[in-house]
DNA sequence: CAGAATATCTGACTATTGTCAGACAAAATG
DNA sequence: CATTTTGTCTGACAATAGTCAGATATTCTG
C-alpha cells in the first residue's frame, strides 16, 4: 500500500488520541482532575509503592505528593511508610477509595464494552490487535514475578499452554493434559517455582520448575502469549528459571517436549541444552538436559 | 484467557495513553504548549474554517481565539473572514507556519519510525493491528469521495485489488491483470467514475464504473481493505456507485466476477443483481446484471 | 424588517499542571 | 562513621487550560 507504515502509525495515533481523550473526560465526569484520577487508578487496595506510580505516570515528586495529600483529605487513600525501606511510602485504597474506583471502573467498562461491541464479528481480532500493540508499547515494563501455581492467572497461563500444545501437536489422547495439573504442588517453593511474565496486568508468559531429585529439577510449562512472541521473552523466562534453579541449589535441569515445537527446541539448543535418552512417555518425543 | 476483553481494552488504553502523552510532550519540545500545537496542526496551508478546528478539538471559543491570536503574533498563521459567510473566519498557514509544521511532522515521523522498528520481525503485523483499530475508531468518519483513476491512491487501491484476486483465485495467467489498467480512462467522468472510501488519510476501499453502451455501465474493482471488512463498506460502496450510475443516466449495470469471491457474490445477490450469460472471458466465471 | 440564532472575540476569573529549590529522614557506600 | 544517594515532602511560583458573561457583527427565520 502506498501509505507508508509511519503514516499509518500516525493515523492510528490520531484515532486513538480522540478515543483516549473521550475516556479522560469521562473520568473528569466524576469531578476529579485527570492527574488525581490517574494516580488513584494506580493505587491498589493492597497498597502500591509511590515510586512505582510516579514512574509510570512520569510525575514530578512534588506534584505527586500534592495529589496524594488531596486524595488523603478526601479519605480515598491512606499512606504508610514501607517497613522494608523507611524512606519509601506505600499508598493503599480505603474502603471509600475502593468504592470510588469501582465507579471509575464502571464508567470505563461501559465505554470499552461499547467499543468492542462495535467491532461485531471481528471483536476477537480487534482484541488480539490491541494485545499486540499494548504488549509492544509496554515491552520495557515487562516483569517476571513468582506466582502461586493455583492462582487464577497461573491456571489461565497453563490452560493457554495446553491449548497451544493441542493446536500444534497431534495428540492421540488429549486427556493426557488435565487441568488443574496434578503435579502443581511441586511448582511451589521451596523446591519448585511458578513464574509469570506480566505486561501491565496481562500475563503474557510463564514457566514452571519442579524437583525430580535433590540435584535435578525439571522445566515445565514454557508458554508465551501470541502478542509477546518474537521479542525474546522465552529466552528471558528460561534464563530466569535457570537462575532460580541455581539459587535453589540444583546441579542440572531436564525437560521433555515435542518435536513440533521447533522454536522452543531451537532456543534450548542455542542455550546449552543437549539431547538425552527418553525419560517420559508420549506425547513427548524430545528430551533434553542442561548442567547448571 | 481469564482477562476479559474489556480489561484488555483498558490495558491497551493505558499503554497508548503513555505513548500519546510522549508524543504530546515531544511537541512541547518545540517550545509551544500542547493546545496551541494542536490547533496549529489542524490549520491547513489552503485555509481551514475555525469552527471545524474547534469542533474537532472540542475547544471553548474563547480559548481557541486566544490560541489563534498567539499563533498570529508568532507569524505562523493568518486569519481572514470567510467571504461566503462573513461571521466565519478562515485560518491559513503562512510560509513560516508551513516550515514549523514540517518540523512537527519530522518529530512525529522519527518517533513513529522508532516504534515500528521496535516491533522487529512483527512490524507488518503491528501495522495491520493499528490499521484495524484505527479503522474501527474512525468508522463514523468514513467518507466516500470521487478520485482520479490515475492518482497514486487509486493505483494503490487497484494494486491491492489485484493482489487480493491473485491470492484468492487460481489464475493460469496472472498477466491478465496489468497495471496501470488499460481501461482506466473509462473510469473518468462524465461517463465513468472511480470512488475511494477514506478512513482519515488511508484509502480503505474502492469501486469503479465504466460505460459499456449508452444505457449500460459496468461495475469494476470493488475492493475493501482488510481492516475495514465486516462492517458493511462493500455495501456502501455499491449503493453509492449505483446512485452515481443512476445520476449519469444509465438504465442497467453489469459486472463480471469469480466464483471464489463468495462474499461479494452474496452481496450482489442480496441487492438485486441476477445472473446473466457470459459476456467476458476467464478468469471471470460469474456474470450479473441489475436494472436501475 | 424585527427578533432569534450563529460565529467570533474580549475580559475577568478559576482550576489545573508543571517546575524548582531546599528540607528532612533513611538507606547505601566507602 | 562521615558522606553520598535516595525517596518524599513543602513552599513559592509560573505556565497552561478551562469557564463564563457579555460585546459585536452577521446571517437566518418568520
Give the pLDDT confidence of A238-263 residue by residue, as tens digits.
Answer: 999 999 898 888 999 999 988 888 88
Please give the pLDDT value at position B58. Answer: 84
Judged by C1' against the alpha carbon of B60, the nearest nucleotide is: D18
Please give the pLDDT value at position B175. Answer: 57
Give the pLDDT confidence of A28-45 residue by residue, as tens digits.
Answer: 567 788 888 888 888 988
Q: What order of strands is seen across the sheet that includes strand A252-257?
A: A143-146, A193-199, A202-211, A216-224, A252-257, A286-291, A274-275
Of A11, A128, A200, the CB nearest to B11: A200
Nucleotides of D under 7 A from a protein CB: 6-12, 15-21, 25-28
Please give the pLDDT value at position A164. Answer: 84
Question: Concatenated DSSP letters for B241-281?
Answer: HHHHHHHHT-SEEEEEE-TT-HHHHHHHHHTT-EE----S-
Instruction: Considering only CA atoms, name the residue closest to the C1' of nucleotide C28.
Output: A85
Q: Which residues of A touch B231 (CB under 8 A)?
A: 120, 122
Please give the pLDDT value at position A5. Answer: 74
For residues A79 and A94, is the Cβ–Cβ distance under 8 A? no
Question: B249: alpha, beta or left, given left = phi > 0 and alpha = psi -120 to 50?
Answer: left
Q: Average the pLDDT over each of A121-135, A166-180, A192-206, A269-283 and give the range with the smallest value.
A: A166-180
Contact (CB<8Å) A12/B119 = no
Please give the pLDDT value at position A18. Answer: 67
Span A268-274, mean pLDDT? Answer: 91
Please give the pLDDT value at position A153. Answer: 85
For residues A6 and A73, is the Cβ–Cβ distance under 8 A? no
What are the angstrom distances between the C-alpha of A183 and each of A237, A243, B270? 20, 22, 56
Whether the pLDDT of residue A285 is over 70: the answer is yes
Q: Is the CB of B61 under 7 A from strand C?
A: yes
The whole-angstrom separation of Cα B36 and Cα B64 is: 8
Contact (CB<8Å) A201/B115 = no
Q: Which three three-digit cell numbers place residue A183?
A: 503435579
Instruction: Considering only CA atoms, name the residue closest to the C1' of nucleotide C26.
Output: A87
Of A11, A129, A156, the CB nearest to B2: A156
**Residue of chain A with shortest Cα separation from B119:** A136
* CA B64 to the chain's CA centroid: 29
pTM as predicted: 0.77
| Segment holding A272, helix H or strand E | none
What does the DSSP 8-state code read for residue A218?
A: E
Please give the pLDDT value at position A171. Answer: 64
For residues A89 and A50, is the Cβ–Cβ distance under 8 A? yes
pLDDT < 70: residue spans in chain B = 1-3, 18, 20-29, 171-184
Whether the pLDDT of residue A72 is over 70: the answer is yes
Residue B33 CB neighbour total at 10 angstroms: 11
Amino acid at each position: 500500500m502506498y501509505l507508508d507504515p509511519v503514516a499509518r502509525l500516525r493515523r492510528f495515533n490520531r484515532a486513538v488520541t480522540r478515543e483516549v481523550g473521550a475516556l479522560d473526560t469521562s473520568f473528569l465526569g466524576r469531578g476529579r482532575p485527570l492527574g488525581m484520577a490517574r494516580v488513584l487508578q494506580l493505587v491498589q487496595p493492597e497498597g502500591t509503592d509511590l515510586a512505582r506510580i510516579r514512574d509510570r505516570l512520569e510525575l514530578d515528586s512534588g506534584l505527586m505528593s500534592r495529589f496524594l495529600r488531596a486524595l488523603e483529605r478526601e479519605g480515598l487513600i491512606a499512606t504508610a511508610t514501607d517497613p522494608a525501606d523507611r524512606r519509601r511510602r506505600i499508598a493503599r485504597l480505603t474502603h471509600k477509595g475502593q468504592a470510588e474506583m469501582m465507579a471509575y471502573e464502571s464508567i470505563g467498562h461501559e465505554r470499552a464494552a461499547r467499543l468492542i461491541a462495535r467491532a461485531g464479528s471481528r471483536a476477537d481480532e480487534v482484541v488480539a490487535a490491541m494485545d499486540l500493540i499494548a504488549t509492544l508499547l509496554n515491552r520495557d515494563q515487562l516483569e517476571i514475578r513468582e506466582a502461586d501455581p493455583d492462582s487464577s492467572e497461573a491456571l489461565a497461563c497453563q490452560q493457554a499452554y495446553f491449548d497451544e500444545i493441542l493446536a500444534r501437536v497431534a495428540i492421540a489422547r488429549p486427556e493426557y493434559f488435565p487441568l488443574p495439573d496434578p503435579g502443581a504442588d511441586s511448582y511451589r517453593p521451596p523446591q519448585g517455582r511458578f513464574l509469570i511474565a506480566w505486561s501491565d496486568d496481562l500475563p503474557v508468559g510463564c514457566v514452571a520448575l519442579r524437583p525430580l531429585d535433590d540435584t535435578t529439577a525439571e522445566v515445565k510449562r514454557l508458554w508465551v502469549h501470541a502478542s509477546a512472541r518474537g521479542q525474546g521473552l522465552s529466552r528471558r523466562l528460561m534464563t530466569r528459571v535457570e537462575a532460580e534453579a541455581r539459587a535453589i541449589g540444583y546441579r542440572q535441569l531436564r525437560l521433555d517436549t515435542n518435536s513440533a515445537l521447533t522454536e522452543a527446541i531451537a532456543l534450548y539448543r542455542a542455550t546449552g541444552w543437549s539431547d538425552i535418552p527418553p525419560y517420559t512417555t508420549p506425547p513427548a518425543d524430545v528430551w533434553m538436559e542442561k548442567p547448571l
